[in-house]
Amino acid sequence: AQTVTQSQPEMSVQEAETVTLSCTYDTSENNYYLFWYKQPPSRQMILVIRQEAYKQQNATENRFSVNFQKAAKSFSLKISDSQLGDTAMYFCAFMGNRDDKIIFGKGTRLHILP
Amino acid sequence: DSGVTQTPKHLITATGQRVTLRCSPRSGDLSVYWYQQSLDQGLQFLIQYYNGEERAKGNILERFSAQQFPDLHSELNLSSLELGDSALYFCASTYRERPQETQYFGPGTRLLVL
């Protein structure tokens, strides 16, 4: 069964610093999709970034980028120049190509400190 | 604002009761997904509908059911409610059948079972 593990339950960084959130997953599939979702205090779920496993290039969205290591089954999220508005719960998620279920990790609560 | 609407925002009910949660997808989206977010289980995929038909099933209890109507809105019915059903219920929508594309989440319905 596929699993998603986020080993950091909570993190705090100063505003303007760079922070990396870790995510590992387990699958026997070769093609799949990985996502990072952000859930701010409003509880809205917002897609931050997505990566297709067949693409070797790491996805980037403005200040957000990923380090996708397929062999290691690792998918970390880097937030550069962190802002107060980045304070949120961040969920790593996996979806296989054969199965339409999205599996979420337990989340990392990120605090950006002024 | 994602364009996905959910009603009601909050719901308080008693054990053994039945409730209906409603979701309207973004204009033009054909697929609706339901998720449950609870403290102990995390964020779990429940069920997906595409253009009125059930497309994928996740960890949905037999006491729960859903449907998608011709106007594409969806309802999640929860019956014989238990204390453990207290959670935040999200719906999300996409245009296509496969959920690999960006899922737009609604604001959620917070259910409290007393």
* Cα pseudo-dihedral B86, B92, B96, B99, rounded to 10: -60
Which residues of B are less than 8 Å from A52 in CB distance?
100
Q: What per-residue confidence (pLDDT) applies to B81?
A: 97
* Cα pseudo-dihedral A87, A48, A42, B28, rounded to 10: 170
Contact B104, B3 (CB under 8 A): yes
Mean pLDDT for the stretch of residues B75-98 = 92
Contact A111, A10 (CB under 8 A): yes
Chain A residues with CB under 8 Å of a chain B CB are 33, 42-47, 50, 52, 91, 95, 99-107
Q: Is the peptide bond before A9 cis (omega within 30 degrees of 0)?
A: no
Q: What is the pLDDT of residues A55-101, one digit of tens each?
A: 889 999 999 999 999 999 999 999 999 999 999 999 999 988 776 67
Minimum distance, in Å, between the CA of residue B43 and any CA atom of chain A: 6
Contact A78, A64 (CB under 8 A): yes
- H or E stretch at A49: strand A46-52
In angstroms, rounded to a whole number, what is the distance separating the alpha carbons of residues B28 and A23? 33
Q: At A106, is the pLDDT very low, low, confident or very high (cuts 50, 70, 90)? A: very high
Q: What per-residue confidence (pLDDT) applies to A88?
A: 97
CB contact under 8 A, A103 and B105: no
